[in-house]
Amino acid sequence: MSKARQLADNGAGGQNKNLVINGSMAIHQRGGTITLANGAVTYTLDRMCFFKSHAGTNTVEQSTDAPVGFLNSLKVTTTVADASVAAGDRVAMIYRMEGLDAAKLEFGSSSAKTITISFYVKSSITGTHGGAVGNGSDNRAYPFTYTISDANTWERKTITVAGDTTGTWAVTNARSLQVCWGLGVGSTYSGSAGAWEAADRNSASGATTGVLTTANATWFITGIQIEAESFATPFAPKSFAEDLIDCQRYYFKFLEGDDKEIGVGWYFSSSHASFMFRYPTTMRATPTGIDETGTGYYTLFRNGGSDAFNSVTFENGSTEQFSAFNNSEMSGTAGQAGIVRGTNASSKIEFDAEI
């Protein structure tokens, strides 16, 4: 069956049942191959983050290696193995759901709904792999296992979990339900599969740590779906545009590269230029502003000339916009206006409201 036919067939189940944003791994605004930071959360493809704490090195990238019906997957490669997995070592992919989306599952109440998680996975490491469902406070967890039977072969897995009737599950814009896929998790963050417990878990006891301990091991995933059902239904794809705007609630790259417009700028005084950024959608929270800095990375073109500056200072942000200025490298005439651009191949402005 062709990929196009499979994509069409996948739409049969409706588009709103899947609580996962970017489950098809089509959106990768950050771009490139990302090396996971140690002892920290790293966001990679949109909405997909990792926590890594071990002596080895892992990279994450978007891949075109995908099962029939999909164009992309997320690929993890262990570039430097950690041969000895200590109790507290771990590397796991995590999907963090906002409480406003998880609320319909009614976790933490007697009405908690059963969920089914389905995904396509492929790895060079066969055997029993682990993961865990948890809450945003990292004190409720339901470890699970799944089996990869054949190396380097796409397989679809389904995990059904009875909803948690206790614990704290955010129903606001805070971190709520999260699903971890453990790629090598020590005993501290591994628990018995198949039951809820009051603990922070990323995997199930006994699951393989082979992805972490094997140099050049690979693990791919795509087609992630979380639905309020006791069984898995076909993956419900969204359009690229729908997935992109949903992702931009959490992360948005305003510009990257040379000759990219920011917008109108004006001189508040001869040494202070102001401008602003408006986001394409309402963000989850007031985002963190990130500016790549360097000599002449940004320029205000005005009055037949230009005024280059190196960095952007953000102020008075909201979930809709961020004001900005530079008051240390400007030279102009108060009241004049012009256009602000990124003017270096490395110019970059990002907004991050990830959970």
Residues lying near other proteins in the complex (CB under 8 A) are found at 37, 39-41, 51, 94, 138, 173-174, 200, 284-291, 293, 313-317, 352-355
Cβ–Cβ < 8 Å for 176, 182: no
- CB 51, min distance to other proteins, A: 5
Q: Is 116 exposed, middle or buried (0-12, 13-18, 19+ CB in 10 A)?
A: middle
CB 149 → other proteins: shortest distance, Å?
A: 31
> Which strand (E) or helix (H) includes residue 10?
helix 3-10
* Nearer CB in complex with other proteins: 116/321: 321
- Exposure class string for 307-346: b at 16+ Cβ within 10 A, else e: bbbeebebeebebeebebbbeeebebeeeebbebbbbbee
**Between 26 and 180, CB nearer to other proteins:** 180
Distance of alpha carbon 144 from alpha carbon 141, whole angstroms: 10
From residue 17, alpha-carbon distances to 102, 107, 116 in Å are 12, 17, 11
Which DSSP category does 353 fall into? -
Which residue, 118 or 326, is less far from other proteins as judged by CB? Answer: 326
Q: Tell me how far, at minimum, the Cβ of 175 lies from other proteins, in Å.
A: 8
* Minimum distance from residue 286 beta carbon to other proteins (Å): 4
- Cβ proximity to other proteins, 65 vs 256, nearer residue: 256
Distance CA 225, CA 158 (A): 9
Report the nearest approach of other proteins to the CB of residue 129 (Å): 20
* Complex with other proteins: residue 15 or 318, whichever CB lies closer: 318
Q: Where are the alpha helices (DSSP H) in 125-216?
A: 210-213
User: Judged by CB, which is closer to other proteins: 55, or 174?
Assistant: 174
272's enclosing H/E stretch is strand 272-278
Rounded Cα–Cα distance for residues 132 and 183 (Å): 12
Give the shortest CB-308-to-other proteins separation in angstroms: 19
How many angstroms from the chain centroid is the CA of residue 249? 11
Helix (H) or strand (E) holding 176: strand 175-185
State which residue, 243 or 354, has the beta carbon closest to other proteins.
354
Smallest separation (angstroms) from other proteins to the CB of 5: 41
